[in-house]
Structure 1
Amino acid sequence: MVVGAAIVAAGRVLACARVNPPEVAGKWEFPGGKVEPGETETAALVRECAEELDVRVEVAGRVGRDVSMAHGRAVLRVYLARLVGADRPRALEHAGMRWLAADELDSVTWLPADVPVVAALRPLLTAEPERPDRAGGG
């Protein structure tokens, strides 16, 4: 199982650009990673966000459906998340980051597994009230 975090703030979601492997370098994804043995999906997301972005997150409900990836050898499950306190993400393991509003989601090239989740996320971003003080940098 692979989990991803759709970190939302001020009606925008955080997208991260992959560094490797070379065949996906420069493509965009939701931060996250593999669930380790004995770890819950939520705990894996909290750990992955700390490792990749140096932030603490609170994990909420699912976004979209399970997506098969890696030729059916893994499943991606994405959850909504929000930053805790004044934490602001830093790209520790990614080439870059961008905060994207609903009308900007198509401005990056998403990894194929993330595309159905982006479609499910779009109406949620449109529904979130604007709070520019929470958006952070990008």
Structure 2
Amino acid sequence: MSEVAPLRLLLVVAVALVDRDGRVLVSQRPPGKQLAGLWEFPGGKVEPGERPEATLIRELAEEIGVSVEEPCLAPLTFASHAYESFHLLMPLYVCRRWSGTPRGLEGQALKWVRPSALRDLAMPPADEPLIPFLVDLLGP
């Protein structure tokens, strides 16, 4: 039996920003990035020594120009997905309160969608299993 090299574990954190109409914000990965063109939940890589909530606060400010307070981040579920060269572990938080208007500061498109409409978007494989949890929480 041959040994399989262990995959590097990558910790990424994501958030479902939910507006007053129960819609969720997604962003489109810009050209030139891995998985370009796919829609995903805002977030990013957790830096060494950084807490997931601090990562979200930092990434949301950098990527979409909104300010979030840590008590407004509620953990919902997580994804665990083996890509070819790494294994992704991605906690998903829900946030209903922030300040500022979301806008794509890194050239990415943003859009608000109903939870059930997330199924119609091309999303990274790790994001897809998160959709039923949002539909259960928010309704279709």
Q: Bin the TM-score by the shorter chain.
A: 0.7 to 0.9
Aligned position for 2:39: 28
Aligned position for 1:96: 109
Q: Where in structure 1 do 4 or more consecutive aligned residues deviate above 6 Å? A: none
- Percent of aligned positions that are identical: 38
1:63 aligns with 2:76: yes
1:9 aligns with 2:19: yes
Provide the rounded CA distance (Å) in 2 between the counterparts of 1:73 and 1:105.
23
Shift of 1:80: 0.8
Aligned position for 1:75: 89
Shift of 1:114: 0.5
Q: Indicate the structure whose relative CO is greater, using CA pairs within 8 Å and at least 6 residues apart.
A: 1
Cα 1:37–1:61 change in 2 (3 A) is same
Q: TM-score, normalised by structure 2?
A: 0.79
Amino acid at match of 2:25: L
Unpaired segments of 5 or more residues in structure 2?
A: 1-10
Aligned position for 1:136: none
Q: Which has the higher helix share?
A: 1
- Give the one of 35, 52, 55 matched to 1:44: 55
* 1:32-90 deviation per Cα after TM superposition (whole angstroms, max 9, x unaligned): 111111111000000000000010124422223332243443311111123423x1101
Provide the rounded CA distance (Å) in 1 between the counterparts of 2:98 and 2:118.
24
Q: Between Structure 1 and Structure 2, how many residues are aligned?
A: 126
Provide the rounded CA distance (Å) in 2 between the counterparts of 1:76 and 1:51.
19
Provide the rounded CA distance (Å) in 1 between the counterparts of 2:47 and 2:78.
21
Cα 1:94–1:17 change in 2 (3 A) is farther
Superposed CA RMSD in Å reads 2.0
The 8 Å contact of residues 7 and 13 in structure 1, kept in 2 or not, is answered as yes
Aligned position for 2:30: 19
